[in-house]
Amino acid sequence: MASYPELQGRVALITGGASGLGLAAARSLAGQGMRVAVADLDAGAAERAAMALGPSGGHLAFSGDVASQGDVHGWVAALLARHGRIDVLINSAGIPDSFLPTVEQDVADFRRLVDVHLTGTYLVTQAVAPTMLQQGRGSVINLSSVAGVLGLARRNAYSAAKAGIGMMTRTMGCEWAARGVRVNAIAPGYMLTPFAQRLIDEGKLDAARLRRRTPAGRLGTAQHVAEAMTFLASDAAAFITGVTLPVDGGYMAWGAASDAYEGPLD
């Protein structure tokens, strides 16, 4: 992994940081010497994740719901009381979609998913932004998806939420660019996370078919996403804002009516 010495001692808040892509990002930033606050709905998992980041004493754990303004404001107040600054925000909290036909989808489930992914991203960013703007420096990194760009049937709520995150990334990135606060997003392809593995095991995703559709011929890992997030958090990305960066092995770039990868599937 690349080294970014300027991140040493800076402070990050990561929602959904106790598992999957959020946890990978937390490990990556902590490895750069950052002090990381892990926020997650699962209090025990957040505590374990923060403790596993290292003995620096600067890592924190918060529990609560990103869709609750009270919970979010509590995290930000506690983090500022401890460290006095917030340099990086990673919005990675999320819940799975139903994978049901549109006419069978439950409206309450639709609303909850949009509330967590889209409204949650908005609430946490809105709560952190005043501190970053006052500092004159900050990097917000949102988690979008190929589902926010491509049409994926049976995934209305998830796709709509991720598309919304992509546009919110652009609007906030433009709003705050002149004041030193950057807002970008990562759009992962099909990554071999524990969640994706569960979908494969349940027959909801076909791993071989996905690999054929991906020019790189393989599924990505959480580490691929974490490294992209670490780059966007660093000063090396100082002139990048309002961008949704695909980390997908070429999945979104492929447009031909044929397999993108014709090699062996080991």
- pLDDT (0 to 100) of residue 56: 64
Q: Is residue 121's pLDDT more than 90?
A: yes
Q: In terms of pLDDT, which residue wins out, 196 or 255?
A: 255
- pLDDT (0 to 100) of residue 266: 76
- pLDDT (0 to 100) of residue 198: 86
Place of tokens 């970008």: 184
* Tens-place pLDDT, residues 91-105: 999 998 888 999 999
CA distances from residue 251 to 12, 14, 107, 137 in whole angstroms, order as listed: 30, 26, 30, 33
**Alpha carbons 27 and 40: distance in angstroms, whole number:** 15
Let me know if 122 is a catalytic residue: no
Return mean pLDDT, the chain: 95
Second CATH level (architecture) for the domain 9-189+221-246: 3-Layer(aba) Sandwich (3.40)
- pLDDT (0 to 100) of residue 205: 85
- pLDDT (0 to 100) of residue 104: 96
* Tens-place pLDDT, residues 168-209: 999 999 999 999 999 999 999 999 988 788 889 988 889 999
Q: In terms of pLDDT, which residue wins out, 2 or 162?
A: 162
User: Catalytic residue among 158, 190, 251, 261, which?
Assistant: 158
**Alpha carbons 183 and 98: distance in angstroms, whole number:** 29
* Tens-place pLDDT, residues 21-75: 999 999 999 999 999 999 999 999 999 999 999 876 689 999 999 999 999 999 9
- pLDDT (0 to 100) of residue 195: 78
**Alpha carbons 138 and 90: distance in angstroms, whole number:** 11
Report the percent of the chain where pLDDT is more than 90: 88
Q: Is residue 141's pLDDT more than 80?
A: yes
Low-confidence winner among 46-50, 160-164, 197-201, 231-235 (lowest mean pLDDT): 197-201
Across the chain, the runs of DSSP E, i.e. the strands, are 11-15, 35-40, 60-63, 88-91, 138-143, 181-188, 244-247
Burial 70-80 (b: 16+ CB within 10 A, else e): ebbebbbeebe
**Alpha carbons 200 and 96: distance in angstroms, whole number:** 14
